[in-house]
Amino acid sequence: MNVNFLGFSCNNGYTNMALDEAMLRDVISIEKKSTFVRFYTWSPRCISLGKNQKDIDLSGFDIDVVRRITGGRALLHDNELTYSIAAPIEKGESVLESYKNVSDAIILGMKELGIELEYAGKKTENAQYCMNISCGADISYKGKKLVGSAQFRSQGYFLQHGSILFDADFDFIEKLFGQKVERHSIATIKEINDKISIHDLVKALEFGFYEKFRNKAIV
């Protein structure tokens, strides 16, 4: 399968979500089976809400808010790298299976940086903040969740995007979402290796996504 990288960019929340949706539409419109991947950051910092998530009371906070077409819970996009991928769904492939394919790509990429990741071992659900939740196919570092992701499907294709924390202001996040953050269960790149840059991470992840999806047979 062709794997196409759209380059790194930094945009506001509305533009980032619009670009992801446009990427999915473009992949659907192409007759040949292809995968498109992009990496980006957010400026200004922004909260994204899941498609079916209730609005959050953010009165008193001067912060952008957008709604994703994917599900999941709210995320604060600040000092992190977001990946997104639009790809065809293999015949009979479940949401969890395609989710795991993306997780495998990230695990492959992180190995290039000397970081060994694994699937999260437990499932949790009752939380507003995405990083407080694990679906069992999320990626963890030594038992701590590192990546929060969500998926949307349309016409035999999926869009998945996710956030990889470089660092986190947990005090601010707790104020935003009005609930305690399970800090001991969340990992950041700074905690793992503070010498890794955005450029390093993008390059490694491009390798992982290419290796995982280039030989994927789609029926």
Determine the angle formed by the axes of helices 95-111 and 198-213, rounding to 10 degrees. 130
CA distance 82 to 11: 11
User: Nearest Cα to 162, choosing from 1, 43, 40?
Assistant: 40
The per-residue b/e assignment along 66-101, b for 16 or more CB within 10 angstroms, e otherwise, is bbbbbebbbbbbbbbbbbbbbbbbbeebebeebbbb
Whether residue 130 lies in the annotated active site: yes
CA distance 165 to 154: 28
**C-alpha distances in Å from residue 118, one per residue of 11, 12, 140, 144:** 30, 31, 5, 10
Q: What ranges make up the beta strands (E) of the chain?
A: 2-11, 34-42, 46-49, 64-67, 75-77, 80-88, 118-119, 123-124, 134-135, 139-141, 144-154, 157-165
Q: Enumerate the active-site residues.
A: 130
